[in-house]
């Protein structure tokens, strides 16, 4: 019979295993891998289940992970101070899963936070700490910290009071904000690649490691939202060419290569990688709700034409995207 395991040993082993999986697979992990989990002391320890708040059998009181899915009844939100809000399980503050998270807050035990990007794929972030509890709103406040601040000999880093003030609070707010940005980027990429069947819309390359989700209107500009209709799945070569205005896409989805590039003589890569795309129709999803937004494409194409004339792309006025 397997020996009982220490809580600290389980959590540190989970973090180490996740770090190895991220190095091997990237930071977006498949659900099947997380369900299978890892082995420790004769136990197999999964890290995820159907429940959003998950405590494997080897742990006594405090969950090991929390999960937000794309289709579940609960949606994570942000607090005014930039931390994450995580909904209770149900409406009973004394539900065992809610009690478990409350104990995680009181003891400042680190958790893993799995963010669902598309069905079956998750961004894993750790350590996550419960730093607030609001029974009236039926939600907890969650902060993400830097993994380097987890001592190897103990996991109870600080009291809940200490976690709400000083350097630790400032660091956690900063780390949480970077995770939010990474979540936006990864979610955008996964949703766009899924819509485009994980292939380049210009050359049909299917190796996902070489694919990006290109913004039509850049992130941070009006209309540059991380939504599928503002994205095109492109391989890294054609993404760079699109961003650099070596080529453009007309509102009717036809690719145009810049005139000076068409006239240039420079080996097979230029011919096969760029020149042969001139006049090719972009491959787009069948569903109109997933296709590139025509007004955004028009703005982007106007910028391409401006660059082709030797003008600045920034001079092209953005339309109202409301």
Domain membership flag for residue 241: yes
Q: Is residue 48 part of a domain?
A: yes
Q: Check whether residue 16 and residue 135 sit in a common domain.
A: yes
Identify whether residues 51 and 88 lie together within a single domain.
yes
* pTM (2 d.p.): 0.84
pLDDT over 60 (residue 119):
yes
Can you give the pLDDT at residue 72?
58
Q: Is 258 part of a structural domain of the chain?
A: yes
Tens digits of per-residue pLDDT, 137-170?
999 999 999 998 776 554 554 444 444 456 788 8
Last residue of a domain, one of 193, 217, 244: 193
Structural domain count of the chain: 2
Say whether pLDDT at 320 is over 70: no
* Per-residue pLDDT tens over the stretch 128-141: 999 999 999 999 99
81-84: long-range contacts, CB 8 A cutoff, minimum separation 24? 81/173, 82/173, 82/176, 82/177, 82/180, 83/131, 83/132, 83/141, 83/142, 83/143, 83/172, 83/173, 83/176, 84/113, 84/141, 84/142, 84/143, 84/144, 84/176, 84/180
Domain that holds residue 267: 198-315
**Together in a domain, 243 and 103:** no
Q: Is residue 322 part of a domain?
A: no
Q: Note whether 26 and 46 are same-domain residues.
A: yes
Q: What percent of the chain has pLDDT over 70?
A: 89
pLDDT in tens, 166-210: 678 889 999 999 999 999 999 999 999 999 999 999 999 999 999
Per-chain mean pLDDT for the chain? 90
Does the residue 14 lie in any domain? Answer: yes
Residue 247 and residue 270 in one domain: yes
**Are residues 118 and 87 part of one domain?**
yes
Same domain, 17 and 132: yes
The band of 17, judged by pLDDT with boundaries at 50, 70 and 90, is very high
Looking at the structure, do residues 122 and 40 belong to the same domain, yes or no?
Answer: yes
2 assigned to some structural domain: no
Any domain includes 271? yes
Report pLDDT for 70: 79
**Where does a domain end: 193, 208, 238?**
193
- pLDDT (0 to 100) of residue 80: 78
With tokens 């500009």, the residue in question is 221
Predicted pLDDT at 158: 43
Tell me, yes or no, whether 42 and 63 share the same domain: yes
pLDDT tens digits, 245-287:
999 999 999 999 999 999 988 777 787 889 999 999 999 999 9
The reported pLDDT for the residue numbered 318 is 58
In this model, does residue 3 exceed pLDDT 80?
no
With cut-offs at 50, 70 and 90, classify the pLDDT of residue 1: low
pLDDT digits (tens, 9 = 90+) for 25-77: 999 999 999 999 999 999 999 999 999 999 999 999 999 999 998 775 555 57
95 and 211 inside one domain: no
Q: Is residue 252 part of a domain?
A: yes
């Amino acid at each position: 019979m397997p020996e009982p395991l220490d809580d600290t040993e389980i959590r540190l082993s989970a973090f180490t295993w996740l770090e190895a999986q991220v190095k091997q697979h990237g930071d977006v992990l498949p659900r099947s891998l997380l369900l299978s989990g890892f082995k420790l002391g004769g136990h197999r320890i999964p890290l995820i289940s159907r429940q959003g708040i998950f405590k494997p059998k080897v742990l006594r009181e405090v969950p090991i992970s929390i999960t937000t899915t794309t289709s579940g009844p609960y949606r994570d939100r942000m607090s005014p101070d930039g931390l994450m809000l995580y909904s209770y399980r149900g409406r009973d503050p004394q539900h065992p899963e809610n009690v478990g998270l409350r104990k995680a807050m009181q003891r400042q035990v680190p958790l893993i936070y799995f963010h669902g990007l598309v069905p079956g794929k998750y961004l894993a972030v750790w350590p996550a700490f419960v730093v607030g509890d609001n029974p009236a709103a039926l939600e907890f406040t969650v902060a993400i910290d830097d993994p380097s601040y987890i001592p190897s000999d103990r996991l109870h880093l600080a009291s809940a009071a200490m976690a709400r003030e000083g350097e630790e609070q400032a660091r956690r707010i900063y780390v949480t904000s970077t995770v939010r940005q990474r979540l936006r980027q990864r979610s955008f990429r996964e949703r766009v690649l899924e819509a485009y069947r994980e292939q380049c819309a210009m050359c049909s390359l299917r190796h996902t490691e070489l694919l990006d989700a290109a913004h039509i209107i850049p992130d941070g500009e009006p209309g540059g939202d991380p939504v599928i209709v503002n994205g095109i799945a492109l391989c890294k070569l054609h993404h760079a060419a699109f961003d650099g205005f070596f080529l453009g896409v007309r509102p009717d989805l036809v690719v145009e290569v810049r005139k000076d590039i068409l006239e240039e003589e420079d080996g097979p890569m230029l011919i096969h990688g760029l020149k042969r795309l001139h006049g090719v129709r972009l491959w787009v999803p069948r569903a109109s709700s997933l296709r590139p937004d025509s007004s955004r494409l028009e703005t982007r194409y106007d910028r391409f034409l401006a660059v082709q004339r030797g003008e600045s792309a920034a001079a092209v006025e953005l339309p109202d995207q409301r």
